Amino acid sequence: MSTRACPDCDVAGDGYCSHCRGKGKVLPDKSFGKFHAEIICSRCKGSGMCPTCGGTGEVEIGGDE
């Protein structure tokens, strides 16, 4: 099978989660005062890796074989 750059990465093919940009943490919608507490990214579960490609940056292209 052939592969191509993963379109779900932060930058196509870089292997990082597009939701947290590879940090594994995001800012919640609501913060208290001037302090912004980070929470674990719900998309990558804190790994920072794209869950679609598993951090490889590539996905397989399906074929009709």
Tens place of pLDDT per residue across the chain (65 aa):
799 999 999 999 999 999 999 999 998 876 666 767 789 999 999 999 999 999 999 999 976 54
50 in Cβ contact with 59 (< 8 Å): no
* CA 57 – CA 12 distance, rounded (Å): 7
State residue 27's pLDDT score.
86
Q: DSSP 3-state assignment of 39?
A: strand
The CA distance from 7 to 15, in Å, is 10
The per-residue pLDDT for 63 is 60
Residue 10, token pair as written in the block: 């932060």
At 38 the pLDDT is: 85
Tokens encoding 24 = 């594994």
The per-residue pLDDT for 65 is 44
Tell me what pLDDT residue 32 has: 65
